[in-house]
Every structure is written in structure tokens, then in C-alpha cells.
């Protein structure tokens, strides 16, 4: 019985992240529009876009290979699995121990690997420019992310997100310099990983500094729908990770009743909303950066992460 | 008695060499030799595997009346040797199977066939040797046979140069090992490993031995800055031998390091690990940065071996640190991570070199800038090469990720280390490891994307044909192993338990019994990983998405010209190449590491001359370490040349002076 219950929760989590992610993107777009004194698209527009794209035929470029066709599914599956392993409304999910935070980051790395390959598949120069810049950005963002994971893992004594969230709730944690540095670095990495302003602009096409959109330029129809859904999932994942580690309040424990679960869901949606508002504010307030300024931005994140880890190593013996 | 059977196997391999000379030019020759090598290496691998699982009672020893009269030749298989024998013979068997097909296309088989089984035998002997004399003889035999294979295609001048550099570096490495063993054996000259094990070297002496071993074994393994020969020599050999050199011989070098430092040298000092960790971290990042700058597929793979050796050394260095500070459980974890990476790297690097060999065979090209679009012409090779790329980039759910994940877990245990030096070094090494992992993924996006994806850049690439069944069988076998070791890592970790137990006194907790076949290095609340579940999850959700979308939304598909923002250019030269793909990374890292410069020449407005972009890279390590030595040797030979044209009286007085000098030294010697 207990196992079935756990299965249900795991399935609910998978559905929840899948269903909420377009909403988050729609919400951010709407907030940005409002900040610019525009009406903005309806909140449900991303869902409509996805359904419309899925119904359309795929127009496949002549030189595309089998890899190009299965790539959207691989990328989507990897990201979806990663997103559903992050505790959102309830910790200690059935499969949450099958991958810790390092493995979740690496799963996103796998998805990126295949996405970058997709950019090279048709043999167009736009795909190439997107892929080469994406791997350049990733080569700094991934180590920065791992240093953040090191910091969190050293503080919480675990790389499991559920344990981390429980530790952050306990009174042992206190205020630490390392945590502040890690939060700052994590936000920087999340912005870069999700191709947001100032690194990349999710709203443009046909701009030479674009990265993500250039890579997926040849995709159409249901393939494009999956790629879009994947980026929405990834945004949700990063907001969830930040929420789970730095604001773990409200997450229901493994054996909590319906009320606690309801509180968990509501607080999770609340965290997403706050994250969305902050992201929209940040994106409206800042200008896009030149692509070769990005290494400085991410290098700073890497150094912050390294500094946070070093502080922990050194303070352990004091 | 296992070691005796294993020696019979080695003897069989050695006996194949003269047969190969006889068969060298006959059309059947390569089939016979590679077939026989396949059978023998498989048998040897089985023997080693049985030994590793201790069905034969653990350590088995034999001494033969060969070699030095007062010493004899000792051979021994213990857990460590058994593990490395598995690696050697698994790689050997895969290479032999691959060569059953690949070897048919060899132009001059008489230059490859005799040395191939001898080379396999030599690597086996190094691992089994139980005294310094047979170790060094086997080591040198391994170097010489592989050198002969490197210069098998001697018509190309660059291969001869590679062979020359390799020979110099190999001799230099052996010299360092010779001195190390001399110091270990002491003035009594007791060269048997048993005797060395019994007498622990003291502080300063042990430190000297450590440095010598790091130089001697490290030059064979390719640690920076002793790696210079590796990217020259490994690609020069025929591809199945490249796979052996990169996938297996570097591991034999790691074996030499582990055997001496963990087993023979006695309890470690804490600062040893600083040296090893520092070398490992720098090697990992430098190796992958070099690899990113290459556009020769085989050279890229060879540089990548340098990176992976760095990762292995990071694991070994952590194990030394924990061992020195008496934290056996953590030491077992770090050592397991390093050794598992030895195994994993031997598999996927062999696979990738086989793939490069298949491409070379089909197109005659190693330069990625002349390839492209091979996924259409060679779909099966492309698939297995892709598996290898994902595995080596340390991406889940394949095996490369597991060993790097274990290394990260070991790093996370290190704040408990008391020494301050390590407290600063280990996080930095962790950052270097993370950086190298991310750069490796970039590197293999480039390697696969430019070679197999896109459009064919030359007629040779456009007319490529899928490779033969034997080669494919070898590659599919290794690709399957990558997957199995990735999703069921618990069994592979358990197989390493006897090795860690013998070297650090304890092994990691038993993994095969963990629920759902997860791996749990320390405690479940701390960290766990389940490759099987992740794999099933991905497959399930991917198929679910595909099924649902095709069923509920649309499954129609049309073909059309590429969009490319409305300006598709039919010329394949407009695609991204290996160099242009690496340009952002070259700009970020290369400007400091390689002093990379881009010089653009724009013609004057109205002129019809082409614009030019030249990229300059400098290999600072070569310039700083190798070029001065080469120049010095050149200068010395020039000067000493005059000694060849002396009169007989001058020669005699030279001899007399040397004699007097030596006698003086003896007289003053304390």
C-alpha cells in the first residue's frame, strides 16, 4: 500500500512540473509586459502555443538525420526526469534518491549535449553558431553549478536535495557567508542556463548574439513544441531548486497528511510566483550583454562558488 | 596456480609473433593472428576475472629460473594485478576482434602482425611481474613493441618523428623507474617485490622514489608536462593499436604507479597527495583544452586520454591523502573512483579509437574538417561513436558519469582532512575536475558533430561506406559495456572491493545488496545514485512523450530545404568546422593558455582579394620544457662532434684522463 501511495506522489510530482512549467513562462512574460506598460499575452498563451505546434506537420530539413528526429524526445525526457526529482511540494519522494543534485545537474548536461548536437545536424551556420556558444557558456556554467553544489553539500552533509531541504529547515544552519555567496552564484548560473537576459534573449530571433534560439532554428511542429516545453521545464527546475534549498518552508514531509500537502502545493506555487516576479524585474532592469562578456559574468559565478567552498573547507577546523 | 596458466597464455602470445613473421605477407595472416590473439586474450581475461573474484584462492605466485641468476623471474597475481589484467585483456580482446575486420585493409601487415601479439604479451607481463628486474624488462619490451607499431606506417615523415619522440620519452621514463627501483631495493640489491615490501623506505628516500615514479610511470601515462609524445605517437599507430595504447597501455602505467606508491613504498606522507592531486588537476584541464584545439580526430582522442589520466590521478591522490590521514573508508571510496575510471576509460577510449579507425578506413581521412555527414553513410558506427562520446563526457546514464560522481563524493569528504595544504588544494582540484568535465562535453559535441553530423565536406566523406561486421561487433560490444557499467555500477564497484582491501585495508560497503540496485558510497541520506532507474525513467518518459504526441497530436512529416533564416547556402564549406566550433572556447581559455591570436586580413575596399583569418596557437609547455632540451642536446652534439676526428694519441689520453677521474671519484667517495 505504502509503495503505491509513493508511486502516486511521484507521478503527481511529474505531472505537476509538466503542467506548471508553461504557466511559469507565461507568467514571466506577462509580468515583463506589465512592467513595460503593455497588456501582454494571456497567461495560458504558452499552452496554446504548444498545442498549436504539436498539431502542425513537422517540416524536416533535407540533410537532417535520425538523431535530429529523436533528439527532442531525448532532451525532453532528460529534463523532465531531472525536474521531477527535485522536491517541490513534498520531500522524500520515492525516486528522489535515485539521483542527487550532482546527477540532476549532469542530466541537464546530457540534455544540453544532445541539443548542441541537434544544432550541428543540418549543417547550417546558424545552428553551428548557437551550438558553439552554448557549449562555451556551459563550460563555465557547469563548473560554477558544481561548486555551488559542493557548498550546499558541505553545509548540509549531503548531496540529496531532500536532506538539504530538511537541513536548511533545522536550526543548525544559521546565517553563513557561504550560503549567501552560493545563492548569488546559483542565481547567476540559473540566468545563464535558462538563456535569459543578460546572457541570451528568449524573445528574439534573428539576432547574431542569440544562442539558444539559433540552435533550434531548424526545428518545427511537434519537435519545436517539445524543445520549447523543455526550456520551460528547465526554468521551472531552477526556480524549484532555489526554492527547495533556500526557501524550504512549506514543503511537506514524507509522512504528512492532506493538510500539509495542500500547504506544500500552495507554498510551491507561491514560490514560483515570487521567482517569476523577481526574474521579470531583473530582466526588465538590465540590458543584454555582448556574448564575450558572458565569460566574465559566469567566471564571477564560478569564483563565488569556489570562494564559498573554500570558506567551508577552511572554517571546518576553526 | 592461476599465474602459471596466465604465463602459458603469455607464452602463446609470444609464440604468435614468429608465426606472424612467417605468415606476414599471406592474405590469411591477419585473420589467423588476430583470431588467435582474440582467443588467448579472452582466456587470460577469464583467468584474471576468476582471480579477482577469489575463486582460485587470492594471491598466486611463481618464480621461474630466468633473468638474473641470483634473483630469478617472479610473477604474481593478486587482486590489483588481476584487476589490471582484466582491463588489459578486455581491451586486447576487443582490439583483436576489431582488427579481424580492420586489419584486412592494412597495406603492410608484415610490419604490424609480429609486434601486435608481442605487445599484448608485454603488457600482461608488466602487470604480473613480481620483481623489479622482470618488471623493467617487460616495461621496456612493452615500449619497444609499441614503438615498432607506431612506426609501422613509416612512409609518413610525421610518424617517424612521433616514433623518435616516443622512443626518447620512453627511455627517459624507464630510466626514472630504474632509479626508483634502485632506491627501493637499497644497497643489498634485493629486487624482489616481497623484499621491497618488507623494508619501508624512509622519509627523504621515499619522497625521491615518489617523484621518480611520478616521472617514470607518469611519462608513460601522459601526465602534463610529460605528455608531449602521447598525442604524436598514439594516432600514428594503426587504429586498433592506438586504442590499445590509449585505452590500455596508459592504464598499465597507472598500474605501475599504484603498485609502487600504494603497495611497495609503505605508508604515505600527507604531502605526497598534494603532488599527485596537483599533477592530476592540471593534467585533466590541460588535456581537454589541448583536445579542444585539435581538428585531427585521432589526435583529439589522444589528448583526451591525457585528460582522463588526470581524472584518474585525482582519484588516486585523494586516496593517498585519506590513507595518510588514516581515513580508510574515504580512501577506499577515492581509490574505487580512480580504479573504476581506469576501467571505464579503457572501454570508451577503445570504442572511440575503433570508431575513428572505421572512419579512417571508410574515408581515408583523420582530419575532421574534411569529414561531415557520416551519420547518413555509416549509421551504425555513428551510433556507437555517439555512445562513446556520451560516456566519455561523463553524462548519465552511462559509465563515465559514475566514476566522476564517485570522485566528487570523495572530494566532499575531504574537509575532514586536517592538513591546511589539502584544505586549499582539494576544492581547487574539485573546480578543475568540474571544469574538465564540462569542457569534455564541449569537446565531444565538436568531435561527433563535425565528423558525423552536418553535410559531407569532401567527396571522400560523401562516398563513405559502413564498416565491416567484425569491427562493428567489437564496437557494439564495448558500447553495451558502457551502458551496463553505467546502469549497474554496483557490481563493478563490488568487483573492486578486493583491490581496495589489499591497498588501503578496507573496501567500500557492499553495493549489490542495496535496494533497487542503487549505489550508496557512504549512507543513503548522504548521497546515492541509481543509473538503472534514471535510464528506465528517461526511456519511459521519452517513449511516452513520443507515443502521446504521435497519437494525440500529429505524426505527419514533410521534407524541405533547410531554413537557416532564409539564406541556406548549398556549399558545405559554409558549415561550422572544428576550428570555428572551438572559436568561442579558444577566445575564452586559449588566449591565456595557448597565447591564441586571431589575425584577420581584410583587403582594401574594392579589392577582389580574399579576406584571410589566421589563428596562431603556441604550445607553451613544449616551448618551455622540450624546446630548450632539444636545443641543448643539438648544441652538445654539435660540439662533441669534433671528438670523432681525434688522433690515436688524443683518444688514448682521453681514455687515460677518464680512468684517472673515475679513480679519483672512488678515492674521495665516503
Residues 84-123 of A with CB under 8 A from B: 95, 97-100, 102-103, 106-107, 109-110, 112-113, 116-117, 119-123
Q: What is the pLDDT of residues B304-325, one digit of tens each?
A: 999 999 999 999 999 999 999 9
Which among B516, B521, B568 is the top mutation candidate for probing chain A, defined by the most A β-carbons within 10 Å of its own β-carbon?
B568
Query: Looking at residue B57, what is its pLDDT?
Result: 57
Which among B562, B585, B593 is the top mutation candidate for probing chain A, defined by the most A β-carbons within 10 Å of its own β-carbon?
B562
Which among B537, B547, B555 is the top mutation candidate for probing chain A, defined by the most A β-carbons within 10 Å of its own β-carbon?
B537
- Residue B524 pLDDT exceeds 80: no
Determine contact, residues B252/B84, Cβ cutoff 8 Å: yes
Torsions phi, psi of A220, nearest 5? -150, 170
Are the beta carbons of B445 and A131 separated by less than 8 Å?
yes
Are the beta carbons of A60 and B569 separated by less than 8 Å?
no
Q: What is the pLDDT of residues A255-301, one digit of tens each?
A: 778 899 999 999 999 999 999 999 999 999 998 888 888 999 999 99
- Set of chain A residues whose Cβ sits within 8 Å of the Cβ of B439: 139
Query: Alpha-carbon distance B265 to B205, whole Å?
Result: 10
How much is the ipTM here?
A: 0.95
- Residue A86 pLDDT exceeds 60: yes
SS3 at position B525: coil
Which among B434, B435, B462 is the top mutation candidate for probing chain A, defined by the most A β-carbons within 10 Å of its own β-carbon?
B434
Query: Looking at residue B267, what is its pLDDT?
Result: 87
SS3 at position B189: coil
Residue with cell 626514472: B176
Determine contact, residues B395/A110, Cβ cutoff 8 Å: yes
Query: Looking at residue B60, what is its pLDDT?
Result: 83
Phi-psi region of B62 (alpha: psi -120 to 50; beta: other; left: phi over 0): beta
A214 to A118, A210, B213, B292: CA distances (angstroms): 11, 6, 50, 22
Query: Looking at residue A95, what is its pLDDT?
Result: 79
Nearest-CA distance from A262 to chain B in Å? 26
Query: Looking at residue B186, what is its pLDDT?
Result: 79
Of residues B415, B430, B581, nearest to A128 (C-beta) = B581
Query: Looking at residue B523, what is its pLDDT?
Result: 79
Sequence-ordered list of residues with C-beta below 8 angstroms from that of B61, at least 6 positions apart, any chain: B3, B74, B75, B76, B130
Question: How would DSSP label each residue in B238-253?
Answer: -HHHHHIIIIIIHHHH
State the Rg of chain B over Cα.
Answer: 26
Nearest-CA distance from A259 to chain B in Å? 26
Residues 50-89 of A with CB under 8 A from B: 51, 54-63, 65-67, 73-74, 76-78, 80-81
Of residues B394, B439, B543, nearest to A139 (C-beta) = B439
Sequence-ordered list of residues with C-beta below 8 angstroms from that of B93, at least 6 positions apart, any chain: B38, B41, B42, B45
SS3 at position B566: helix
Of residues B414, B430, B549, nearest to A222 (C-beta) = B549
Sequence-ordered list of residues with C-beta below 8 angstroms from that of A151, at least 6 positions apart, any chain: A178, A179, A181, A182, A305, A308, A309, A312
- Residue A196 pLDDT exceeds 70: yes
Give the confidence band of A208 by pLDDT, cuts at 50, 70, 90: low
Determine contact, residues B342/B312, Cβ cutoff 8 Å: yes
Provide the pairing of β-strand B597-601 with B612-616: antiparallel
| Total beta-carbon pairs less than 8 A apart between chain A and chain B | 290
DSSP at B131? B
Bond before B187 cis per omega within 30 degrees: no
Which cell numbers hold the place of B316?
588516486
Angle between helices A66-84 and A221-246 (to 10 degrees): 20
DSSP at B399? H
Lowest mean pLDDT among A74-78, B69-73, B87-91, B96-100: B69-73
Question: How would DSSP label each residue in B448-497?
Answer: HHHHHSS--SSHHHHT-----HHHHHHHHHHHHHHHHHHH-HHHHHHHTH
For B28-61, b where at least 16 C-beta lie within 10 A, e where not — what string?
A: ebbbebbbbbbebbbbbbebbbebbeeebeebbe
The structure's pTM equals 0.95
Query: Looking at residue A98, what is its pLDDT?
Result: 85
- Residue A203 pLDDT exceeds 90: no
Sequence-ordered list of residues with C-beta below 8 angstroms from that of B483, at least 6 positions apart, any chain: B387, B397, B398, B399, B535
- Set of chain B residues whose Cβ sits within 8 Å of the Cβ of A302: 431
Query: Looking at residue B56, what is its pLDDT?
Result: 55
Average pLDDT over residues A61-87: 94
Q: State what percent of residues in chain B have pLDDT above 70.
A: 99
- Set of chain B residues whose Cβ sits within 8 Å of the Cβ of A55: 553-554
- At B658, which helix (H) or strand (E)? helix B648-668
For B320-345, b where at least 16 C-beta lie within 10 A, e where not — what string?
A: bbbbbbebbbbbbbbbbbbbbbbbbb
Question: How would DSSP label each residue in A127-181?
Answer: HHHHHHHHHHHHHHHHHHHHHHHHHHHHHHT-S-HHHHHHHHHSTT----HHHHH
Of residues B525, B546, B575, nearest to A160 (C-beta) = B525
Query: Looking at residue A318, what is its pLDDT?
Result: 46
Amino acid at each position: 500500500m505504502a509503495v503505491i501511495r509513493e508511486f502516486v506522489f511521484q507521478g503527481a510530482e511529474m505531472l505537476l512540473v509538466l503542467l506548471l512549467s508553461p504557466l511559469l513562462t507565461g507568467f514571466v512574460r506577462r509580468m515583463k509586459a506589465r512592467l513595460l506598460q503593455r497588456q501582454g499575452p494571456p497567461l495560458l498563451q504558452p499552452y496554446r502555443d504548444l498545442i498549436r505546434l504539436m498539431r502542425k506537420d513537422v517540416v524536416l530539413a533535407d540533410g537532417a538525420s535520425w538523431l535530429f528526429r529523436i533528439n527532442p524526445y531525448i532532451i525532453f525526457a532528460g529534463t523532465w526526469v531531472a525536474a521531477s526529482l527535485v522536491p517541490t511540494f513534498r520531500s522524500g519522494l520515492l525516486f528522489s534518491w535515485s539521483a542527487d543534485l550532482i546527477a540532476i545537474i549532469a542530466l541537464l548536461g546530457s540534455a544540453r549535449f544532445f541539443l548542441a548536437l541537434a544544432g550541428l545536424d543540418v549543417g547550417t551556420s546558424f545552428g553551428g553558431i548557437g551550438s558553439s556558444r552554448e557549449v562555451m557558456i556551459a563550460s563555465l556554467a557547469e563548473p560554477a553549478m558544481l561548486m555551488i553544489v559542493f557548498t550546499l553539500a558541505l553545509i548540509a552533509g549531503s548531496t540529496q536535495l531532500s536532506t538539504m531541504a530538511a537541513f536548511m529547515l533545522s536550526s543548525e544552519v544559521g546565517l553563513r557567508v557561504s550560503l549567501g555567496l552560493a545563492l548569488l552564484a546559483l542565481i547567476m548560473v540559473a540566468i545563464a542556463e535558462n538563456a535569459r537576459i543578460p546572457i541570451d534573449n528568449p524573445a528574439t530571433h534573428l539576432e547574431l548574439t542569440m544562442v539558444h534560439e539559433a540552435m533550434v532554428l531548424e526545428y518545427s511542429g511537434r519537435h519545436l513544441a517539445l524543445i520549447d516545453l523543455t526550456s520551460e521545464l528547465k526554468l521551472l527546475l531552477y526556480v524549484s531548486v532555489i526554492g527547495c534549498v533556500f526557501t524550504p518552508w512549506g514543503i511537506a514531509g514524507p509522512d504528512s497528511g492532506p493538510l500539509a500537502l495542500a500547504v506544500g502545493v500552495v507554498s510551491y506555487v507561491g514560490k514560483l510566483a515570487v521567482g517569476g516576479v523577481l526574474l521579470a524585474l531583473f530582466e526588465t532592469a538590465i540590458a543584454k550583454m555582448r556574448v564575450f562578456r558572458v565569460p566574465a559574468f559566469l567566471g564571477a559565478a564560478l569564483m563565488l562558488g569556489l570562494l564559498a567552498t573554500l570558506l567551508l573547507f577552511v572554517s571546518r577546523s576553526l | 596456480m592461476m599465474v602459471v596458466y596466465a604465463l602459458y597464455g603469455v607464452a602463446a602470445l609470444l609464440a604468435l609473433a614468429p608465426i606472424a613473421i612467417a605468415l606476414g605477407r599471406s592474405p590469411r595472416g591477419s585473420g589467423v593472428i588476430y583470431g588467435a590473439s582474440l582467443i588467448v586474450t579472452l582466456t587470460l581475461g577469464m583467468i584474471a576475472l576468476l582471480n579477482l573474484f577469489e575463486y582460485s584462492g587470492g594471491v598466486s605466485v611463481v618464480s621461474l629460473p630466468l633473468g638474473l641468476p641470483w634473483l630469478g623471474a617472479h610473477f604474481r597475481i593478486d587482486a590489483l594485478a588481476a584487476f589490471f589484467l582484466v582491463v588489459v585483456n578486455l581491451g586486447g580482446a576487443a582490439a583483436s576482434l576489431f582488427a579481424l575486420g580492420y586489419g584486412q585493409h592494412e597495406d603492410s601487415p608484415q610490419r604490424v602482425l609480429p609486434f601486435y601479439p608481442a605487445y599484448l604479451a608485454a603488457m600482461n607481463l608488466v602487470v604480473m611481474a613480481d620483481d623489479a628486474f622482470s618488471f623493467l624488462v617487460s616495461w621496456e619490451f612493452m615500449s619497444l613493441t609499441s614503438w615498432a607499431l607506431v612506426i609501422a606506417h613509416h612512409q609518413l615523415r610525421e610518424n617517424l618523428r612521433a616514433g623518435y619522440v616516443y622512443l626518447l620519452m620512453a627511455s627517459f621514463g624507464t630510466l626514472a623507474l630504474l632509479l626508483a627501483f634502485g632506491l627501493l631495493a637499497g644497497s643489498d640489491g634485493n629486487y624482489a617485490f616481497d623484499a621491497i615490501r618488507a623494508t619501508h623506505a624512509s622519509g627523504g628516500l621515499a619522497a625521491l622514489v615518489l617523484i621518480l615514479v611520478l616521472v617514470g610511470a607518469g611519462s608513460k601515462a601522459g601526465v602534463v608536462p610529460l605528455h608531449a609524445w602521447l598525442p604524436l605517437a598514439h594516432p600514428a599507430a594503426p587504429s586498433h593499436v592506438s586504442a590499445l595504447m590509449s585505452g590500455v597501455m596508459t592504464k598499465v602505467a597507472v598500474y605501475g604507479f599504484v603498485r609502487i606508491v600504494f603497495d611497495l613504498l609503505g605508508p604515505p606522507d600527507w604531502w605526497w597527495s598534494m603532488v599527485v592531486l596537483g599533477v592530476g588537476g592540471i593534467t585533466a584541464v590541460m588535456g581537454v583544452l589541448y583536445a579542444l584545439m585539435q581538428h585531427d580526430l585521432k589526435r583529439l582522442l589522444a589528448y583526451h586520454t591525457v585528460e582522463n589520466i588526470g581524472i584518474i590521478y585525482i582519484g588516486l591522490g585523494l586516496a593517498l591523502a585519506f590513507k595518510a590521514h588514516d581515513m580508510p573508508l574515504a580512501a577506499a571510496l577515492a581509490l574505487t573512483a580512480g580504479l573504476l575510471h581506469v576501467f571505464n576509460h579503457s572501454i570508451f577510449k577503445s570504442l572511440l579509437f575503433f570508431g575513428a579507425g572505421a572512419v579512417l578506413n571508410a574515408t581515408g581521412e583523420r582530419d575532421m574538417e574534411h569529414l561531415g555527414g557520416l551519420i547518413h553513410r555509416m549509421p551504425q558506427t555513428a551510433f556507437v561513436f555517439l555512445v562513446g562520446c556520451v560516456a566519455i563526457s561523463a553524462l548519465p546514464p552511462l559509465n563515465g558519469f559514475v566514476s566522476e560522481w564517485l570522485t566528487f563524493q570523495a572530494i566532499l569528504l575531504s574537509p575532514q582532512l586536517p592538513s591546511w595544504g589539502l584544505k586549499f588544494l582539494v576544492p581547487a582540484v574539485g573546480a578543475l575536475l568540474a571544469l574538465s568535465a564540462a569542457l569534455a562535453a564541449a569537446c565531444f559535441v565538436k568531435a561527433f558533430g563535425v565528423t558525423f553530423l552536418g553535410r559531407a565536406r569532401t567527396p571522400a566523406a560523401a562516398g563513405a561506406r559502413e564498416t565491416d561486421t567484425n569491427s562493428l561487433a567489437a564496437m557494439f560490444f564495448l558500447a553495451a559495456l558502457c551502458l551496463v557499467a553505467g546502469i549497474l555500477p554496483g557490481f563493478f564497484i563490488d568487483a573492486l572491493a578486493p583491490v581496495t582491501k589489499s591497498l588501503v585495508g578496507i573496501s567500500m560497503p557492499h553495493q549489490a545488496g542495496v535496494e533497487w540496485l542503487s549505489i550508496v558510497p557512504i549512507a543513503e541520506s548522504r548521497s546515492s545514485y541509481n543509473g538503472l532507474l534514471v535510464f528506465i525513467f528517461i526511456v519511459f518518459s521519452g517513449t511516452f512523450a513520443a507515443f502521446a504526441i504521435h497519437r494525440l497530436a500529429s505524426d505527419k512529416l514533410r521534407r524541405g530545404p533547410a531554413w537557416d533564416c532564409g539564406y541556406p547556402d548549398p556549399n558545405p564549406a559554409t558549415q561550422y568546422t572544428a576550428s570555428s566550433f572551438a572559436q568561442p572556447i579558444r577566445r575564452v581559455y586559449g588566449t591565456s593558455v595557448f597565447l591564441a591570436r586571431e589575425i584577420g586580413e581584410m583587403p582594401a575596399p574594392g579589392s577582389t582579394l580574399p579576406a584571410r583569418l589566421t589563428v596562431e596557437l603556441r604550445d607553451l609547455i613544449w616551448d618551455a620544457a622540450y624546446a630548450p632540451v632539444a636545443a641543448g642536446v643539438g648544441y652538445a652534439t654539435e660540439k662533441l662532434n669534433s671528438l670523432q676526428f681525434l688522433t690515436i694519441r688524443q683518444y688514448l689520453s682521453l681514455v687515460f684522463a677518464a680512468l684517472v677521474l673515475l679513480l679519483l671519484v672512488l678515492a674521495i667517495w665516503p
